[in-house]
């Protein structure tokens, strides 16, 4: 298995490399292009994991699981239903989720699988799509729920999901991952809230990449959040959400308590 990460070394150096058994082999070059090991090794305990990629956009799907579609009483879509989350919303494992300034309403978690694009992707066929997928990661797609329908004239999906720190991604990009035999598990303060099979997806990863690439060009490092299933819930200030997928790892993030709400850097 090849697990790619980005990291910050204690003295501030930011690099990327391959994680194996708690040790990181640092690489030079471009994770999505020409990359080669530079001989430096780091221990995972001595570095800070960052989001494993820096997407130009996060494409987040809605209603992409049969179980949730049935619960909501919605028909399965004929094309992926999605919104765009900005790159400023991305944080890595362990980084705090920050409540938007002046917002005291409900904040929700959504544990999801993320598809990481490996090369420029436009108008590709489903048969070609797998070759454009660099790997897979975990995502917590966070939502300021009360803002979604604040204006009855316009559903504010991008606003409610696009705040800084509202796209938690990590801990790694796993290249050798069989999504068909994996499940997403979301725990809130060590209590399991979601546990659903990825095989229940309405659109497979290849279908998502193909169809979305006909709507917009996907760039290396862009992430498609595959949507969530049943079990979405709210997060209280100070609570920790852990999204885990066997074969990828665990992504922990805490909703910062009120006293921690200094500006993000």
- Mean of the pLDDT values across residues 58-70? 97
- Mean of the pLDDT values across residues 200-220? 98
Q: Is the pLDDT of residue 264 over 50?
A: no
SS3 64: coil
What pLDDT does residue 259 have? 52
CATH 2.30.30.370 residue ranges for the chain? 1-50
The architecture in CATH of the region 51-260 reads: Alpha-Beta Complex (3.90)
1-50 belongs to CATH 3.40.50.720: no
Alpha-carbon distances, residue 173 vs 90, 107, 148, 210, 245 (angstroms): 15, 26, 30, 20, 12
pTM, 2 dp: 0.95
List pLDDT tens digits, range 205-214: 999 999 999 9
CB neighbour list of residue 90: distance below 8 Å, 6 or more residues apart: 51, 54, 55, 58, 167, 169
Q: What is the C-alpha separation between 110 and 227, in angstroms, rounded?
A: 8
Res. 91 pLDDT band, cuts 50 70 90: very high
Average per-residue pLDDT in the chain? 95
- Mean of the pLDDT values across residues 50-73? 97
CATH 3.90.850.10 residue ranges for the chain? 51-260
Q: Is the dihedral of CA 195, 197, 202, 206 positive or negative?
A: positive
Are 105 and 145 within 8 A, CB to CB? yes
């Amino acid at each position: 298995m090849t697990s790619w990460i980005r990291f910050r070394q204690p003295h501030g150096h930011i690099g990327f490399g391959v994680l194996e058994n708690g040790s990181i082999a640092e690489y030079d070059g471009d994770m999505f292009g020409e990359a080669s090991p530079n001989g430096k090794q780091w221990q995972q305990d001595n570095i800070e994991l960052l989001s494993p990629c820096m997407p130009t956009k996060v494409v987040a799907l809605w209603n992409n699981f049969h179980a949730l579609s049935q619960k909501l009483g919605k028909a399965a879509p004929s094309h992926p239903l999605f919104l765009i989350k900005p790159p400023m919303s991305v944080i890595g494992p362990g980084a705090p989720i920050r409540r938007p300034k002046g917002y005291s309403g409900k904040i929700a978690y959504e544990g999801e699988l993320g598809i990481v694009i490996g090369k420029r992707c436009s108008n590709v066929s489903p048969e070609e799509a797998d070759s454009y997928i660099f790997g897979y990661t975990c995502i917590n797609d966070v939502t300021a729920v009360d803002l979604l329908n604040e204006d009855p004239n316009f559903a504010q999906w991008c606003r409610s999901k696009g705040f800084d720190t509202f796209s938690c991604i990590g801990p790694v990009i796993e290249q050798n991952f069989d999504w068909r035999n994996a499940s997403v598990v979301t725990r809130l303060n060590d209590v399991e809230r979601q546990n659903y099979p990825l095989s229940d997806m309405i659109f497979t990863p290849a279908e998502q990449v193909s169809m979305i690439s006909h709507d917009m060009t996907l760039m290396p490092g862009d992430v498609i959040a595959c949507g969530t299933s049943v079990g979405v819930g709210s997060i209280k200030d100070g609570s920790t959400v852990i999204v885990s997928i066997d074969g990828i790892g665990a992504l922990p993030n805490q909703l910062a308590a009120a006293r921690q709400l200094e500006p993000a850097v």
